Amino acid sequence: MKKNVIFIGIASLCLVYSCATNPLTGKRTLNFVSNSELFPSSFQEYGTFLKANKVISGTADAKNVETVGIKIKVAAERYLASLGQTDYLNGYEWEYKLIDNKEVNAWCMPGGKIVVYSGILPITKNDAGLATVMGHEVSHALANHGAQRMSASQLQALGAVGVAAATGSQSAEKQQMWQQYYGIGSQVGVMLPFSRSHETEADKIGLILMAIAGYNPDEAITFWTRMSANSGGQAPAEMLSTHPSDATRIANLKAMVPEAKSVAAKFGVIFK
């Protein structure tokens, strides 16, 4: 019992002292990792990745990635300034690279380091499609999703310690059973929904950023429809996935587009 009380106390303190309101989502978020800790390692990993992969430069596609990336960056700066958060991007070192890789993928590391794989370009098709992808990935970084996932994983591990403490007097077989129950329950019931919520948040913020940058957010729906067709329905059940299903994502986007257009209108961007 004493071990359980100590565990609960530690977990409670972690939650109290690590939650802050993110200005882009308006939500209190779990984050044990500061940007000053996260960014240096992020930049180092980015540099290592670029050395190990072929960077495409000097082409029209590479120029488009940089041009769209800069517009998304400026949109993020303008949006955050409108929220009174002009210092929010301190420490960001923006960079936009196109990588020669057939994988349909793109990502943005904490601190603004962005990679687009050439394999996604046939699906983005145009600058608006590319803005959909880059706005979404940048939004993961702006919402500190990477740090939140790291923090959640730490809490998940802490929970496993709590289960071990609570079942320490039981047989080894029962201890293993409870750990398995905890592992499955925490993954399916907490970690995966947590990840899916991040995807939805990034979709919403990304729509706003692409709209402020001058790209019609309706194009995001068109892009994700193409992505769904490209996947051929080969995806795990939503409850077992880190991402919403294509149908859920597209439905959410349709509901989010009016707000994105409304925010963009405040910056003088009007879509017909």
Residues 117-151 pLDDT 10s: 999 999 999 999 999 999 999 998 898 766 666 66
Least confident range of 72-81, 104-113, 174-183, 227-236: 174-183
CB 129 within 8 A of CB 222: yes
What integer is the mean pLDDT of 199-206?
A: 91
CB 229 within 8 A of CB 159: no
What integer is the mean pLDDT of 5-9?
A: 40
CB 228 within 8 A of CB 250: yes
Residues with a known catalytic role: 137
The separation between CA 169 and the C-alpha centre of its own chain, rounded to angstroms, equals 41
147-196 confidence digits (pLDDT tens): 666 665 666 566 667 767 777 778 877 777 766 656 556 554 555 555 67
CB 206 within 8 A of CB 138: yes
Q: Is the pLDDT of residue 40 over 60?
A: yes
The predicted model scores a pTM of: 0.79
Q: Quick count: other Cβ atoms within 10 Å of Cβ 187?
A: 13
**Average pLDDT of the chain?**
82
Q: Is the pLDDT of residue 114 over 70?
A: yes
Element (H, E) at 24: none
